[in-house]
Structure 1
């Protein structure tokens, strides 16, 4: 009976002991799962606690980079429980990128400084630990092992997301542009090269990506991306539907996000509207004036529309008309105003107004007129 009790006590002590111990500190590293799918968020925690209490002690942990994964520091906590009794906790979020058994390595360093070294550093008017004379010890850590599983089918994103599409109009004149906004929002892996619309034939296409939010959590990145497209053409065209395939580590399910197809009607503009009827110089001139003017007007009219949408706010405010914000006043819906703001006023600290418009559109919270007034007051020059 005593032998059995002794075995139980010994086993309990072994379980409660830290993963590793050194003459300077005890430390442990843990990973929250042994298996994960590609691009699924994995949490790694490392703790270190001072054992030798005659010096000031500092802990440094750095992951070794690898093509097998992407790893980011979520948080680092340093505490001094009592004099010469330091403790540190590091939390990393790892996203595996290859389906195989991977190893994750870290460099762990402990630095110590005597009371005298710290005192001398401050007497010499130095404010930071860089000036303090320290002893350094590198400690080899046992690599972590993670089995990475391949997804059963191709996906565009890993995480939990929603997709919202907004378009300002579906009928334009030649040389006008359609403004299209896709908002991707959710939590998961940050796919940097995601594309929603491929190049369309006979369509002039401008694209801009606006990353509004990119915050790391234990479930992955909190993401809010706005894909802003400006499209123009001289004849009718179709913007194809968007279909994204996803996998959710939270629900362990595959799912699809969709955005609708848009058929854009383009009204032709008569040449007589665009071209000057006067022939100058002489019609027998070597240069074909009519064709040159038509080409020039096409370029100027098109560029004028695009540049107007992309001009900086400083340029916009040089015009008296823009000072009264007719474009904002004439916006008829929160969706329309959001697209306008992203195209023309994105550098004017408007995030909270876009958020208010989105809440109004999708939750019914707020008043459109009040948001407009507050926005115009914010944008008005002093």
Structure 2
């Protein structure tokens, strides 16, 4: 077989000189803490700086995930060209699960293609022989270490609490609304649902909601939970504490919900009812006198007087509550308190979202 020496030496030239025309790069890594507590956010930063545009390189670096000793979350991954030089930046947040020394020892693969270099050297000759090649370089990132200490509380961060409460005087069976908001930065995911148990008070609560963003300090934002308390007598929500530790000073602290006293009045007074008792039949005694003057007694005896209508106050109160209800949640409370057995079917249909509007629910109630 005849060997084309020109092509052979050309390929040797390409292989031995590929490093000369390829991009060079430099990795660096940093950690923001030498010591931290369990569940305290740790900021990791990795930078790859190229000597040129780095167009021949693809970086394979992905340390994100849940591991035995720690969890890694991505904060930011970025690529920029500054002064015709490529810079890749990788920022992560680590949460360590156990005490002791922890090493962040990650691998990275630098993948390089030679196709552009070959075309550049050959000037486009022999295009029918595509010689795209890939070279993978396996590297160890700089070892980053941190000493982890046991924390005094499972909840770590810098928090403050705000309480939004309803009027402290409520009518019987009218819900007293309460919202608890925790703001700040820390491991919000470890805040447990708040539960209240008060004698003779029906407590309704929503699942907590979180509006969070990940920062260098960990999660920052708001955690909140809403409640409704229903009773027919005065009641108190006792003082409640949520324990946490601020890693800045390593002191154990408390978020405090102070005692709340709620006064409950009668639902409706008789004089405030919309439908007052009425006289159904009014009889004029002057007219009676005329009748007696002109009509004989046996005719008078046949006159039938209508009895006054008896009003069911419980029914009126119930209808009044239905007319004033503004949401399906409030309606659910009223039905449970009014007669959970009688309205069991409607209650289940609301809970299962078979009934989705107030109009539909009221129609079912009035037809039951």
SS in 2 for 1:274: helix
Provide the residue aligned with 1:226 in structure 2: 224
Contact 2:103 2:143 in 1 (8 A): yes
Distance of 1:317 and 1:56 partners within structure 2: 65
Matching of residue 273 in structure 1 with residue 313 in structure 2: yes
Give 1:181 shift.
Answer: 0.8
Contact 1:242 1:259 in 2 (8 A): yes
Matching of residue 97 in structure 1 with residue 141 in structure 2: no
Matching of residue 206 in structure 1 with residue 205 in structure 2: yes
Contact 2:175 2:230 in 1 (8 A): yes
Structure 2: gaps of 5 or more residues: 1-22, 120-131, 269-310, 317-335, 361-368
Contact 1:102 1:146 in 2 (8 A): yes
Contact 1:37 1:150 in 2 (8 A): yes
SS in 1 for 2:339: helix
Provide the residue aligned with 1:331 in structure 2: none
Contact 1:50 1:57 in 2 (8 A): no
Structure of larger gyration radius: 2
Distance of 1:198 and 1:137 partners within structure 2: 59
Give 1:200 shift.
Answer: 4.1
Alignment of 1:28-43 (within 5 A): 28-43=28-43
Distance of 1:78 and 1:189 partners within structure 2: 29
Structure 1: gaps of 5 or more residues: 1-22, 120-131, 277-291, 319-382
Contact 1:245 1:254 in 2 (8 A): yes
Contact 1:156 1:244 in 2 (8 A): no
Distance of 1:222 and 1:113 partners within structure 2: 41
SS in 1 for 2:313: helix
Provide the residue aligned with 1:358 in structure 2: none
Contact 2:50 2:87 in 1 (8 A): yes
Distance of 2:56 and 2:197 partners within structure 1: 60
Provide the residue aligned with 1:189 in structure 2: 187
Distance of 2:337 and 2:26 partners within structure 1: 79
TM-score by length of 1: 0.56
Distance of 2:359 and 2:73 partners within structure 1: 42
Inter-CA distance 208–169: structure 2 relative to 1 (3 Å threshold): farther
Provide the residue aligned with 2:129 in structure 1: none
SS in 2 for 1:157: coil
Contact 1:57 1:86 in 2 (8 A): no
Contact 2:54 2:86 in 1 (8 A): no
Give 1:180 shift.
Answer: 0.3
Inter-CA distance 273–133: structure 2 relative to 1 (3 Å threshold): farther
Provide the residue aligned with 1:71 in structure 2: 72
SS in 2 for 1:191: helix
Provide the residue aligned with 2:339 in structure 1: 295
Inter-CA distance 114–166: structure 2 relative to 1 (3 Å threshold): same
Contact 1:157 1:244 in 2 (8 A): no
TM-score by length of 2: 0.57
Pairs aligned (count): 258
Distance of 1:224 and 1:94 partners within structure 2: 21
Q: Deviations over 1:103-158 (max 9, x none)?
A: 33434222223464999xxxxxxxxxxxx99654443336533211012x3x3632
Inter-CA distance 254–70: structure 2 relative to 1 (3 Å threshold): same
Give 1:35 shift.
Answer: 0.9
Provide the residue aligned with 2:289 in structure 1: none
Distance of 2:104 and 2:198 partners within structure 1: 43
Give 1:215 shift.
Answer: 1.5
Distance of 2:144 and 2:359 partners within structure 1: 57
Contact 1:71 1:95 in 2 (8 A): yes
Alignment of 1:1-382 (within 5 A): 25-50=25-50, 56-63=56-63, 64-81=65-82, 85-114=85-114, 116=116, 135-141=135-141, 143-151=143-151, 153=152, 155=153, 157-202=155-200, 203-211=202-210, 213-267=211-265, 273-275=313-315, 295-296=339-340
